Amino acid sequence: MTETRAGAVTPAVHHGAMFDTNELVLNMGPQHPSTHGVLRVVLRLDGEKVVDADVVIGYLHRGIEKLSENRNWTQIILLTDRMDYVAAATNNVGYCETVEKLLSIEVPRRARYVRTILCELQRIASHCLWLGTHAMDIGAMTVFLYAFRERELILDLFEEFCGARLTYNSMRIGGLPLDIPSGWDRKVLEFCRIMDSKILEYEELLTHNRIWLERTKGIGVIDGPEAVAIGLSGPALRGSGVPRDVRKDEPYAAYDELEFDVPIGAVGDTYDRYLVRMEEFRQSLRLIRQATEGLPEGPIVGKVPRLIKPPAGETYHAIESPKGELGYFIVSDGKSTNPYRFRVRPPSFCNLQGLPRLVRGHLVADVVALIGSLDIVLGEVDR
Amino acid sequence: MADDPAKDTGPVAPTGPGKTPASGQEAAPGKPAPPSGAAPVATPPARPAPKPAAGPPPPAVPTGPPDPPPPEGQSPPAFLAALASALPGSVTQLSYYVGDWTVIVPAAKILDIARYLRDAPEAAFDLCSDVTVTDWPPRPERFDVIYVLYSVRQRHRVRLKTKVALDQPVPSVTSIWPAANWLEREVFDMFGVMFTGHPDLRRILMPEDWQGHPQRKDYPLEGPGELLMENPIDWLKLRQSRDEADIE
Amino acid sequence: MIDLFIIPLLKIAIVLNATLVGVTYMVLLERKVIAWAQSRLGPMRVGPHGILQPVADALKLMIKEDITPVRVDRWVFTAAPIISMVPALIVYAVIPFGPEVTLFGRQVTLYITDINVGLLYVVSVASVGVYGIILAGYASNSKYPLLASLRASAQLISYEVAVTLTLVSVILVAGTLSMVGIVRAQEEAGVWFAFIQPLAFGIFFIGGLAETNRAPFDLPEAEQELTGGFHTEYSGMRFALFFLAEYANVIVVSSVATTLFLGGWLRPFPSVDALAFLDIVPSWTWFLLKSFVFLYVFVWIRATLPRYRYDQLMRLGWKVLIPLAIVNLVVTGFIRLMVL
């Protein structure tokens, strides 16, 4: 398909004549109402069946990794917000935890609990957005509005906490910049109460709906070992029956002190991934309730040197973002105030890799459903 | 130690394993390779270093990560010993830092080691979390190719590290972990490391006809500027002719 | 002379205008109802509670630039929306809004005409509308519209069969093809045909959804799939015509359903004398009310249900609806033969 000379590479896919004898090449995106951002999928169709798909990304590449080599350790928190902008606090947490690992700092318990609450709120917010866009792609447009109504409640909570609705910059190395405002935990519990009934509303509209079942059952089936091999993580992997969750396997923040279950699918189709994420709503609410009710007193930020300069060394640390395993690989050279190498392992990037494998043999209408089912955010894919 | 003598209140937790790379504890049989470059020697600045502002005094250019060996009490996990015995000469160095195990291996043996790590039951590394590269320009073997692996069944993690020079190809592990496909493509795009045996090695984040590899240390942050768009008109004509050739 | 020319012309004028206004206000109805279903308000600015929104929409579409792509088939491109719109309007020639009433001392029928093959006329004219879609996709000379129009036409043709079979069962029960005759038959039977032929009613309704490209059968024009479907290349007034043609078709299906299954202009329970006080409501009001209920249900379904994929849609039409319609027809025939 291509020549691989170092440097110059020819484009791998031709936009061939409109009426090829056998196959039609159809280009979806980068501007398309439902590719969730600037994603381009070049489909080769045999009638309506997809023979092959080539995913072209890079339209949102901003060079965050290289930029980070020129920012000091605290400034990078701002940049990490903008990767998975749907769930920005989880990016912050992952980064701060990695640097804390390098510095071997201990984060006070209260800060860990608040971080957990924020991460779980983000998980719900991200899944709300996923649900809304996924349902809208399949045609149920009302769920989109309902899910965003709940997301607004979460964004209001965040605005009260740190002043921003989308890109929070809400963590610092060693803890959080501010303690939670008074009454915030009551509002969080109130939100949990509201959310419980709303989840029922979504399920009423979708889970046993005949048309929904027909559109999602049996679409994009991938079994456990193959899903692991192809690099899926997060709910996309758990839908295939693999019990992998970073919160359970390599606990961070306050997860080792809280009780929760990890939902796992059976078959590995779109419907299972949907069910896994719906159940994750409930588990997140459970975690938030536990963390809020059991919030310990104490300092909100640990003992951190004023000038952050981790000693020379490198480490990899992963957390469970709503999309999957978000990993940070950071190298410090011990001398400068910037990291030497800042690498993000984006879950959406690795999940999107599986799209050609999932989409093969399905119809064009399923491509959109599968992109939604993988739950990608282009900011994270392209960085 | 790179503490800032004048400013900090001191990190709280114990600093973990020792940071001197040259201590003799090697856990694996096989040639004890010398550490790949002296650890960056921290010459404390003569005056208190200012807060990160413009123009701190340039430190000595780092020549490589300090890969500290495991301290006395830590014994490497069983699969590492098994790896060293199953594939002799595979483990160049073993390192342990803040709870992570890193195995430094020669580039030529990557495929065998990867296959062993995936298939051996006590290792069972079936999830390739990440493939990435760090660029240490002053070193002759410039790139540190790093593989982060995780085992879903055994729930443990390990990092593999290889050192390659510029223009030295690395065998691709896509045949062992398909997850490495795009990850290696990104490494190729950003650093220019060639992977032999990769099914589809082309640029992924940059446009297909981009020249240069952006994340190398000698690539300017602002981009190549005029170097690339030497003559925009010619570039446009080239693209037009390519488009016309496409429409049959 | 008056009876021959003036009155029919007046009727045509009234019906056409009412239909066109109704079509534009259907747009507003849809936007409002879907908004309320989604816990928001819909158009609120133009006029009190957005009442004048359709006026603004019509004005906007009329003054918009009409972009005609270069490589289209010019005549067909222009003709396609007209071919889509006109059949929907001329179906109204046979739809009865009410029986004979006395207006200004004259006996006037509240329908434009009553041909004795009214139902056949309706079915045939409505089928012509499919041509508009096919020609639009063909004339646009572009991949997306072509794919979409082929799909849409295949969908429409499949569901035509099911719908027509149900209409045949109605004819069996009513004994006549004339639209007025069918309503009279319901009056005689004393009960709406929806209760005598529930299966036919259901199939007609689902088929009607599919015939008019409404959710959950709106894949050919689903934005998310094919970016606009067969009317991707259209803009300005031509696009408006397609848009309006769809809503006109919806109103036609509602009107036909009302006539055939819900008793047309009859009040509920026409044979029960105790409810005779309901007769103060004029007959055409009953007709409009019933049609409105249908319109509301159409919009309600659009707000609620996800969309069928194309192959599932075709499977539903051919493997479920057509066999059911045939069974219904056979059973109706038997009962008619044996009992009546």
Per-residue model confidence as pLDDT tens for chain C (340 residues): 667 788 888 888 988 998 889 888 888 999 999 999 888 888 888 888 888 888 898 888 888 877 788 888 788 888 888 998 899 888 888 888 888 877 777 777 888 888 888 899 998 998 898 888 888 888 888 777 787 788 888 888 889 899 999 999 999 888 888 888 888 888 888 888 888 889 999 999 999 998 888 878 887 666 545 556 777 778 778 888 888 888 899 999 999 999 899 888 887 777 777 777 777 778 888 888 999 999 999 999 988 888 888 888 888 989 999 999 999 999 999 988 887 6
**Residue C134 pLDDT:** 86
**Residue B42 pLDDT:** 40
Of all residues in chain A, what percent carry a pLDDT higher than 90? 30
Contacts of B125 in chain A (CB under 8 A): none
In this complex, the residue of A24, A205, A365 whose CB is nearest that of residue C309 is A365
* Phi, psi for B63 (deg, rounded to 5): -110, 10
Structure tokens at B60: 């000595």
CA distance A25 to A45: 6
Contacts of C216 in chain A (CB under 8 A): 139, 211
- Residue C16 inside a domain? The answer is no
* Phi, psi for C148 (deg, rounded to 5): -65, -40
Count helices and strands in chain C by DSSP H and E runs: 13, 2
**Residue A33 pLDDT:** 67
3-class state of residue A96 by DSSP = helix
List all residues of chain A from 244 to 263 with a beta carbon under 8 Å from chain B: 244, 249-250
**Residue B26 pLDDT:** 37
pLDDT tens digits for A330-339?
Answer: 988 877 888 8
A185 has pLDDT over 90? no
B242 or A323, greater pLDDT: A323
H or E stretch covering B191? helix B180-191
**Residue B19 pLDDT:** 39
Angle, alpha carbons C283-C289-C291 (nearest 5°): 105
Structure tokens at A305: 């040197």
Chain B residue with Cα closest to A11: B208
Domain boundaries along the sequence of chain A = 64-382
- With beta carbons less than 8 A apart as the criterion, state whether A41 and A55 touch: yes
DSSP string, C85-101: HHHHHHGGGS----SEE
Maximum Cα interatomic distance, chain C, rounded to a whole number of Å? 67
What mean pLDDT comes out for the span B53-81?
A: 65
What single-letter amino acid sits at B59?
P
- Residue B150 inside a domain? The answer is yes
C223 touches chain A (CB under 8 A): yes
CA dihedral C294, C300, C301, C302 (to 10 degrees): 110
C314 touches chain A (CB under 8 A): no
Chain B residue with Cα closest to A306: B8
Lowest mean pLDDT among A180-189, B139-148, C276-285: C276-285
CA distance A280 to A260: 10
- Residue C6 inside a domain? The answer is no
3-class state of residue C107 by DSSP = strand
First to last CA, chain A: 27
Residue with token string 């603004």: C56
CA distance A104 to A277: 34
Beta bridge partners of B160: B103, B147
Of all residues in chain B, what percent carry a pLDDT higher than 90? 6
Residue range(s) defining the domain that contains residue C297: 64-338
Interface contact flag, B51 A307, Cβ < 8 Å: yes
B56 has pLDDT over 70? no
CA distance C278 to C286: 10
- Residue B145 inside a domain? The answer is yes
Number of domains in chain B: 1
CA distance C151 to C314: 10
Mean pLDDT (chain A) is 86
Architecture of domain A64-382: Orthogonal Bundle (1.10)
Where do runs of H (alpha helix) occur along chain A? 64-68, 76-81, 88-103, 109-138, 141-162, 184-206, 210-216, 224-230, 235-238, 246-249, 270-293, 347-352, 355-359, 364-374, 378-382
- Residue C33 inside a domain? The answer is no
3-class state of residue B56 by DSSP = coil
Interface contact flag, A142 C308, Cβ < 8 Å: no
* Phi, psi for A50 (deg, rounded to 5): -85, 125
**Residue B59 pLDDT:** 53
* Neighbour subunits, B (≥3 Cβ pairs < 8 A): A
- Residue C7 inside a domain? The answer is no
Beta strands in B115-244 (DSSP E): 127-135, 143-150, 157-164, 170-171, 195-196
- Residue C170 inside a domain? The answer is yes
Residues 6+ apart with CB under 8 A from B36: B64, B67, B104, B139, B141, B163
**Residue C227 pLDDT:** 55
**Residue B38 pLDDT:** 38
- With beta carbons less than 8 A apart as the criterion, state whether B54 and A142 touch: no
pLDDT tens digits for A90-141?
Answer: 999 999 999 998 888 888 999 999 999 999 999 999 999 999 999 888 888 8
- Residue B209 inside a domain? The answer is yes
Chain A residue with Cα closest to B198: A4
- Residue C287 inside a domain? The answer is yes
List all residues of chain A from 144 to 173 with a beta carbon under 8 Å from chain B: none
Residue range(s) defining the domain that contains residue B126: 78-227
CATH label of the domain that carries residue B108 = 3.30.460.80
Does an interface of 3+ CB pairs under 8 Å exist between C and B? no
- With beta carbons less than 8 A apart as the criterion, state whether B99 and B27 touch: no
Strands A341-345 and A324-332: antiparallel
- Residue C281 inside a domain? The answer is yes
Structure tokens at C190: 């004393």
Lowest mean pLDDT among A117-131, B15-29, B164-178, C308-322: B15-29
What mean pLDDT comes out for the span B80-99?
A: 80
A16 touches chain B (CB under 8 A): yes
Residue with token string 């930020």: A301
pLDDT band at A13 (very low <50, low <70, confident <90, very high): very low
Number of domains in chain C: 1
